[in-house]
Structure 1
Amino acid sequence: MNAVELVSSTKNQLEKFRLDGFNEFLEKVNSFCDMYELEVKKLDDEYVNPRWPRRKTNITNRHYYEYDCFNAVLDLKIQEFGNRFNEVTSKLLVCMSCLSPCDNISAFDIPNIPKLAEKYPYDFIEEEKRRFPVQLGNYFNFVKKDKKFANLDGLSSLVRLMVSTNIHVTFTLVYRLLKLVLVLSVATVERCFSAMKNVKTDLRNRIGDENLSNSCILLLDIVL
């Protein structure tokens, strides 16, 4: 949850910097140029493309450096955040965190957990989805009163304790959802390993870590 909030905050800061940050950035550039006695271009002059110095660009230096450079780089960063941490993934993580037993199930949130069940349309029928809030309320009251559930450190510990105390038979819907959440993380890791096998073949056996990581990300983006 902290990671999700940090990603969201970073995206907001980047978007704000894109809208209002160019003048502040320009002041720092000018200060750097003055310190080392470097030439500072006049922003109102026409931009000259070094590849074709005689061809008119019909844009000012300010337009080029603000829109074609400054904004373009920030747009790439913001888009990368969106691709890596899209809204669907963030909502899924938020809903998953509501099942966490840590800190005496302080994150437990009955309105959000049924939304997670909606992500598994083939695992819960409509009648089970309607019963879910009632079972969640009973589950919360039971777990809150039982001291054995007070100091758990994660979902896997919660599932093991539910099975050992046999309450997984009582709260079948909650237990099923917990199993699906645990399987989701394993499936994600399996996909990563499958992608790595496809990328790092015998012909690419000496590929570097950075190139391997970038290739796997590209392959997963295409597959998913």
Structure 2
Amino acid sequence: MTKTIEALQSGEISSGHGLNQEIALKRVGDTRWGSQYGTILRLISLFPSVLNVLEYVKEDGNNSEHRGEACHLLNDIVNAMALVKVSKQRLQTIRDDGWSLLLDEVSLFCDKHNITIPKMDDTFVSQGRSRRKAQNISNLHHFQVEIFYQVVDRQLQELNNRFTKVNTELLLCIACLNPRHSFFVFDKKKLIQLAQFYPLEFSSTQLLALDSQLENFILDVHPDDQFSNLNGIGALA
């Protein structure tokens, strides 16, 4: 607690009031990536205090279960799809160019808190296994390939599974039918693309006709008062 107060006084960590309070760890939501990210950020900020608490629980915990745990713990469719796309690009950039920066940040953190940093060129030895039984890989390979790359690849795979290219384009195309603000997001090209996702419903001849029909549609609804105050696709239907 003393270290937390000192950190607050020095400005190393910040505190607010009510919803802005930032000096406590939050429970992580199982599927909320933002919650997990926020918890990690707070853990980094409060690391010395968290370490002190864990050491206290390890020595003076109420039961063996607590002591054992302490030992182990030492706006809308378009915007959403745009954020998914950005997330994929960021993850790919991190995978391609982020290892060196992450290693530097982790090294600084370890130096600050007197945590031993393994030499990257040394042979990696898993806990509980002798060097003779260890795989012949370096610490660098273990941390970069077996951990860093795998974590990023799994995040990318999950995003790709949840938001395939077709699903993403489908949602973006449907959003072009939104009549709000006098059909501000109307996009004829994307609506034709939407029709192309349904080849059994739209033949090649019908797709050619759709181009002209969509031009007629937008010219027809723009000046019509009954379409001026619609708030969604449901209202348009």
TM-score by length of 2: 0.63
Letter matched to residue 28 of structure 1: E
User: What CA distance in whole angstroms lies between the structure 2 residues aligned with 1:65 and 1:134?
Assistant: 57
Q: Does 1:41 align with 2:87?
A: no
CA–CA distance in structure 2, aligned partners of residues 126 and 78 of structure 1: 35
CA distance in 1, matches of 2:134, 2:171: 51
Question: What 5-or-longer segments of structure 2 have no aligned partner?
Answer: 1-77
Partner of 1:145, secondary structure, is coil
Q: Does 1:123 find its partner at 2:196? A: no
Is 1:99 matched up with 2:183?
Answer: no
Matched, 1:145 2:223: yes
Q: Which runs of 5+ in 1 are unaligned?
A: 160-224
Root mean square deviation, CA, Å = 1.5
Alpha-carbon distance in 2 for matches of 1:75, 1:125: 39
* Structure 2 counterpart of 1:47, one-letter code: F
Counterparts of 1:1-224 in structure 2, within 5 Å, are 1-53=78-130, 54-159=132-237
What amino acid sits opposite 2:90 in the alignment?
Answer: Q
Q: In 2, Cα distance between the equivalents of 1:44 and 1:61?
A: 6
Letter in 1 for 2:182: N
Q: What are the superposed Cα offsets for residues 49-86 of structure 1, whole Å, 9 maximum, x if unpaired?
A: 22432224222111110011011100000100000011
Per the TM alignment, residue 17 of structure 1 is displaced from its structure 2 partner at its CA by: 0.7
Query: What SS class does the counterpart of residue 189 from structure 2 fall into?
Result: coil
Measure, in 1, the Cα distance between the counterparts of 2:85 and 2:123. 38
Bigger mean CA deviation after superposition, 27-36 or 117-126: 117-126
Secondary structure (helix, strand or coil) at the match of 1:108 reads coil
Higher relative contact order (CA 8 A, sep 6+): 1
Measured in 1, the distance between the counterparts of 2:166 and 2:229 equals: 30
Work out the CA distance in 2 between the residues paired with 1:96 and 1:51.
Answer: 55
In percent, how many aligned pairs have the same letter?
Answer: 35
Report how far residue 110 of structure 1 moved: 1.3
Scaled by the length of structure 1, the TM-score of the pair is: 0.67
Q: Deviations over 1:89-131 (max 9, x none)?
A: 0111121111111121011111221221222233334443321
Measure, in 2, the Cα distance between the counterparts of 1:21 and 1:62.
14
How many pairs are equivalent? 159
CA distance 1:126–1:21, change in 2 (3 Å) = closer
Distance in 1, matches of 2:182 and 2:223, equals 10
